[in-house]
Chain A
């Protein structure tokens, strides 16, 4: 009886450990890729500030909209990261809007 209990305990422990590692295997890459995704999107959007003056209006509008869509994702980050990247994102968006407006007001 004792032997059977010990075996059951051993099996449960081994299964728990296996499940834990399986969970980590699935969770960590997805968490990392989620982290990578916002940063990738951020880099893509804000990497265009250099070309803002030469971009067509449609692309500027689209970039500004992408900034709005990315904002909620950045708001979920930890305090320091959020503070830095929200400011950076705002600067990018403001520039795109600024260039758009400057074109609209051109005589």
Chain B
């Protein structure tokens, strides 16, 4: 009996020490759930379940700029304040989910509609699915089976997937987007790490502008006008600022250090 008590005590002390040193780790989302956004500005007030937005299927088909510049979706969850009326008028989700647009030969379902459909509750549940067991149109495992893998986030190297032609990113929506000339890529540049011995960060303008354009990041996310004038640390980035706006939520996560800290220290 005494032995058992000693063992239990040792386990508890050990667990206590471990927790005190490292804290309780945040549970990492599953690959399919990474980037998922729950929108509840008005849903519950109107008696509907909050909207569950799967970021992965949209990023697999459309550029960041298309949704966050051309469709004017805010970069912060809940920041857009979408109403069903907006969708019905053909804005935000309703720009594509209007029952008339097709992608890859498939008609996109209507998002919000006042038209009586055979099973309207089921229709609403396609998006207003938080806390419900709704069968999704796209299965993550099936969809990503042949895509190049990565360690974190969605577990997919989206950049390579596009390079290899496994996914085709749409950057233009007729009637919504502006016909732009192709972008002149700005030069890549190095940013020094603040910790001695940490490899420098090589920031690729090209990689970022091809999906984002300029106005998505400047000046909303990166305010400083003079290179090097805005000092930001990993603490702020982990807090969801600067690179962390995307790289702690939807793009490859900050745990993947060597994706950014790539330049060997001279």
Closest-CB distance, A9 to chain B (whole angstroms): 41
Closest-CB distance, A88 to chain B (whole angstroms): 5
Residues of B within 8 A of A79 (CB): 85-86
Residue in B71, B92, B184, B215 whose beta carbon sits within 8 Å of that of A92 in the complex: B215
With A84-B72, A91-B69 already in contact, the answer to whether A46 and B225 are too (CB < 8 A) is no
Taking a contact as CB atoms under 8 Å apart, the answer to whether A87 and B72 are in contact is yes
Interchain CA distance A92-B213 in the complex, whole Å: 11
Contacts of A30-50 to chain B: CB distance below 8 A: 43, 46-47, 49-50
Cβ of B47 under 8 Å from chain A: no
Cβ of A83 under 8 Å from chain B: yes
B197-233 vs A, Cβ < 8 Å mask (1 yes, 0 no): 0000000000000000111101110000110010000
- The A interface is mostly helix, strand or loop, or mixed, namely helix
Contacts of A4-62 to chain B: CB distance below 8 A: 43, 46-47, 49-54
Residue in A80, A91, A92, A98 whose beta carbon sits within 8 Å of that of B86 in the complex: A80
With A83-B86, A88-B72, A91-B69 already in contact, the answer to whether A53 and B214 are too (CB < 8 A) is yes
Residues of A within 8 A of B89 (CB): 78, 80-81
B67-78 vs A, Cβ < 8 Å mask (1 yes, 0 no): 001111010000
Most buried by A among B214, B215, B226: B215
Which of B130-138, B149-157, B175-183 binds A?
B175-183
Interchain CA distance A40-B38 in the complex, whole Å: 35
Q: Which residue of B lies closest to A98 (CB)?
A: B219
- Interface size in chain A (residues, C-beta < 8 A): 30
Most buried by B among A78, A83, A84, A105: A84
With A49-B213, A50-B214, A53-B186 already in contact, the answer to whether A106 and B178 are too (CB < 8 A) is no
Interchain CA distance A43-B70 in the complex, whole Å: 11
Cβ of B91 under 8 Å from chain A: yes
With A80-B89, A91-B220, A92-B215 already in contact, the answer to whether A47 and B226 are too (CB < 8 A) is no
Contacts of B159-205 to chain A: CB distance below 8 A: 178-184, 186
Residue in B70, B74, B86, B181 whose beta carbon sits within 8 Å of that of A51 in the complex: B181
Q: Which residue of B lies closest to A101 (CB)?
A: B225
Residues of A within 8 A of B85 (CB): 79-80
Residues of B within 8 A of A102 (CB): 225-226
Taking a contact as CB atoms under 8 Å apart, the answer to whether B183 and A50 are in contact is yes
Taking a contact as CB atoms under 8 Å apart, the answer to whether A94 and B219 are in contact is yes
Closest-CB distance, A97 to chain B (whole angstroms): 8
With A53-B214, A101-B225 already in contact, the answer to whether A88 and B180 are too (CB < 8 A) is no
Cβ of A70 under 8 Å from chain B: no
Most buried by A among B81, B179, B216, B225: B225
Residues in chain A within 8 A of chain B (CB atoms): 43, 46-47, 49-54, 78-81, 83-85, 87-88, 91-92, 94-95, 97-99, 101-102, 104-106
Chain A to chain B: the 5 pairs with minimum beta-carbon distance, closest first: A102-B225, A98-B219, A80-B86, A95-B215, A80-B89
Residues in chain B within 8 A of chain A (CB atoms): 69-72, 74, 81, 83, 85-86, 89-92, 178-184, 186, 213-216, 218-220, 225-226, 229
Interface contacts beyond A88-B69, A94-B215: sample of 4 additional A-B pairs, CB < 8 Å, sorted by A: A51-B181, A84-B71, A85-B72, A88-B70
Can you list 13 A-B pairs, Cβ within 8 angstroms, ordered by A? A47-B179, A50-B181, A51-B181, A54-B184, A78-B89, A80-B85, A80-B86, A84-B86, A84-B92, A91-B220, A92-B215, A94-B220, A105-B229
